[in-house]
C-alpha cells in the first residue's frame, strides 16, 4: 500500500499525482494516531519486509531477501513481535497475511501464536480473474460468496467477540494481528467501489520514464505484473523508456484504488466491533502497509526497487489517551522500529539494541522505539537516515545488492557486490550509484550522482551509507512517554 491519502501529502511525497482516495475509516484513524509521514521499509518485497518488521532486525541479519527463506533456518531463532507478547502473557492471534505464507515463515510461524493461525484461501469459483490482473466482482456474485479479505474480517470479528469478556476484565490481554491481502495483485474487489473512481477522475503518472542517468542495475522489468494474461497480451517488455497503453495504466490505477477503498471498509468493520465490545479505549492500534507500490511512475509497476515510491509506505499508531487528537511527524522512521515501539507502548520490558553478531540472541532489536515522537514530533534527538536495500542476482555466483539511504533531503544508493555467504557488501565493487534531491526532485527524475557540484556531498553520503544504521540512531532507549 502506498501512502496516498491526502494526510500524507507533503514536500517529500514521491508523486504529485494521486487520486482522491475514498478511505473514511483510515482517515478517521489517522486523526486519532501518531501519523508517520516518512516511514520506510527495509526491503520492498513482502517476505523480507515482513520478516524484518516482525523480528525487529534488518535483512542482512535475517538473511531473508526472497519469498522462500525462513529466518529460523538460515539466521537464528529470533523471537518475533507476536511471540514476544505471547511470552509476556498475551493471547496472540493471527489472521490473513501477517508473515509471508508457506516456506518463508514455516507456515505462519507457529511459535508466534497462542492458537492455530487462520489463513484464508484465495478467491475461487465466481471470483477467479481468469488469469487477468484485476477484476471488479459483481454484486450478485457477492450475495452467495465472500472475497478473501471479507472472510478474514468475518473470522477476526467472531474471535474479537469471543475474547472480549476476558480482555475487558483484564484476565487475558490480547494481541490480534489482521493482515489483508489487497491491494496486492491481482486487484480483486467488489464492483461497487469503482463508483468512487470515475474513469475521468483517474490520472496518468507525470513521469512515465526512468530517471536521467539512472544506472541500469536499478531497474526491474516488473515480471509480476507482466505475468498476468491481460498484460502479457500487450507484449510489454518492461524495458526502460517503455510504458503500458494509457487506458491500461488508468484501468490498473483505478482497480488499485478500488482495492484500497474495499480494505478501508473491512477495516471499518473491525474498528466498529472494537467499539461495540467495549475494547476501543484500551486497545493500541498499529496500521501499516508492507511496502510501497509503483503505479506507472518511471514506467514501472509493483515493487522490487529502491525508488522512494516503492520503499515509502503508510504507518500510523493509535494509543488511547495519548494520540487521540492526532499527531503528525516528518521524522524518519523505519519499519524495523515498530517492534520496539509496540513493546514500549504496552509497557513490556524494553528491547536492547542487537550487537553486530546477534545470531545467538533470541531477543534484541535493530530498530528504535519511536514512542518519543508522540511528545516531540519534531526533534533533533532522532535518527538522521532510513536504510533500505534490494538484491539483484546476476547469476548464481555473482550477486549485487543495492544499499539505499534516505536522509532529510536526499536518497543515496550504491549498487555493490554482495557476499551471499557472509551477508556482507563489497563496497569497492561498485556497479552503479544514485543521488536524488527530494527537495528539488521528489519524483526522483534526475540522478545527480555524477554532477561535479555534488562530488563532496556524494563522498559524505557514501561514508554514512558504509557506516550504516548504527551511526544514525540516537542513544534514547525506553518508554519515556508512558509511566
- Which residue among 22, 46, 354, 438 is the active-site one? 46
Pairing verdict, β 399-406 and 410-419: antiparallel
* Catalytic residue status for 46: yes
- In sequence order, the 6+-apart residues with CB closer than 8 A to the CB of 464 are 385, 405, 407, 471, 472
Distance from the Cα of residue 201 to its chain's centroid: 27
The pLDDT profile of the chain, 483 residues, written as one tens digit per residue, is: 999 999 988 776 767 767 899 999 999 999 999 999 999 999 999 999 999 999 999 999 999 999 999 999 999 999 999 999 999 999 999 999 999 999 999 999 999 999 999 998 876 655 777 899 999 999 998 887 889 999 999 999 999 999 999 999 999 999 999 999 999 999 999 999 999 999 999 999 999 999 999 999 999 999 999 999 999 999 999 999 999 999 999 999 999 999 999 999 999 999 999 999 999 999 999 999 999 999 999 999 999 999 999 999 999 999 999 999 999 999 999 999 999 999 999 999 999 999 999 999 999 999 999 999 999 999 999 999 999 999 998 665 569 999 999 999 999 999 999 999 999 999 999 999 999 999 999 999 999 999 999 999 999 999 999 999 999 986 444 444 443
Catalytic residue among 22, 63, 88, 100: 100
Helix (H, G, I), strand (E, B) or coil at 144: coil
DSSP class of residue 187 equals E
End-to-end distance of the chain based on CA atoms, in angstroms? 34
Domain topology for 6-368: Alkaline Phosphatase, subunit A (3.40.720)
Query: How many Å apart are CA 138 and CA 144, to the nearest integer?
Result: 11
Alpha-helical regions (H) of 56-138: 59-62, 71-74, 81-87
Amino acid at each position: 500500500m502506498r501512502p496516498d491519502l491526502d494526510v500524507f501529502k507533503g514536500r517529500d511525497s514521491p508523486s504529485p499525482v494521486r487520486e482522491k482516495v475514498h478511505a473514511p475509516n483510515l482517515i478517521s484513524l489517522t486523526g486519532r494516531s501518531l501519523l508517520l509521514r516518512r516511514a520506510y521499509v527495509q526491503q520492498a518485497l513482502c517476505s523480507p519486509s515482513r520478516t524484518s518488521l516482525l523480528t525487529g532486525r534488518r535483512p542482512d541479519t535475517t538473511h531473508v531477501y526472497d519469498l522462500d527463506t525462513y529466518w529460523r533456518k538460515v539466521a537464528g531463532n529470533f523471537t518475533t513481535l507476536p511471540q514476544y507478547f505471547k511470552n509476556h502473557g498475551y493471547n496472540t492471534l493471527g489472521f490473513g497475511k501477517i508473515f509471508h505464507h508457506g516456506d518463508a515463515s514455516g507456515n505462519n510461524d507457529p511459535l508466534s501464536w497462542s492458537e492455530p493461525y487462520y489463513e484464508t484461501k484465495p478467491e475461487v469459483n465466481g471470483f477467479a480473474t481468469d488469469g487477468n490482473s484485476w477484476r471488479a466482482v459483481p454484486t450478485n456474485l457477492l450475495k452467495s460468496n465472500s472475497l478473501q479479505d471479507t472472510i478474514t474480517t468475518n473470522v477476526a470479528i467472531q474471535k474479537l467477540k469471543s475474547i472480549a469478556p476476558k480482555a475487558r476484565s483484564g484476565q487475558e490481554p490480547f494481541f490480534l494481528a489482521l493482515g489483508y491481502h489487497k491491494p496486492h495483485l491481482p486487484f480483486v474487489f467488489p464492483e461497487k467501489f469503482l463508483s468512487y473512481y470515475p474513469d475521468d477522475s483517474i490520472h496518468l503518472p507525470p513521469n512515465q520514464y526512468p530517471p536521467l542517468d539512472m544506472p541500469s542495475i536499478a531497474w526491474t522489468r516488473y515480471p509480476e505484473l507482466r505475468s498476468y494474461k491481460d498484460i502479457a497480451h500487450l507484449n510489454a517488455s518492461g524495458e526502460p523508456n517503455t510504458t503500458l497503453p494509457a487506458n491500461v495504466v488508468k484501468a490498473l490505477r483505478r482497480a488499485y484504488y478500488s482495492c484500497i477503498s474495499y480494505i478501508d471498509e473491512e477495516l471499518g468493520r473491525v474498528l466498529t466491533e472494537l467499539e461495540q465490545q467495549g475494547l476501543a479505549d484500551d486497545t493500541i492500534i498499529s496500521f501499516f502497509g508492507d511496502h510501497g507500490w509503483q503505479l506507472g511512475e518511471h514506467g514501472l509497476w509493483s515493487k522490487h526497487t529502491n525508488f522512494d515510491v516503492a520503499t515509502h509506505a503508510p504507518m500510523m499508531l493509535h494509543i488511547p489517551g495519548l494520540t487521540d487528537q492526532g499527531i503528525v511527524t516528518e521524522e524518519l522512521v523505519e519499519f524495523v522500529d515498530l517492534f520496539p515501539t509496540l513493546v514500549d507502548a504496552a509497557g513490556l520490558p524494553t528491547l536492547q539494541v542487537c550487537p553486530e553478531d546477534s545470531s545467538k540472541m533470541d531477543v534484541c532489536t535493530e530498530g528504535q522505539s519511536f514512542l518519543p515522537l508522540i511528545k516531540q514530533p519534531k526533534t533533533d534527538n532522532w535518527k538522521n537516515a532510513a536504510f533500505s536495500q534490494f538484491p539483484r542476482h546476476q547469476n548464481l555466483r555473482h550477486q549485487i545488492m543495492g544499499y539505499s539511504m534516505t536522509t532529510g533531503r536526499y536518497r543515496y544508493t550504491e549498487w555493490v557486490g554482495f557476499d551471499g555467504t557472509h551477508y556482507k557488501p563489497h563496497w569497492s565493487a561498485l556497479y552503479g550509484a544514485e543521488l536524488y534531491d527530494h527537495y528539488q526532485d521528489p519524483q526522483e527524475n534526475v540522478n545527480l550522482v555524477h554532477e561535479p557540484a555534488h562530488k563532496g556531498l556524494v563522498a559524505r553520503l557514501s561514508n554514512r551509507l558504509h557506516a550504516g544504521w548504527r551511526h544514525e540512531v540516537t542513544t534514547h532507549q525506553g518508554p519515556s512517554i508512558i509511566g
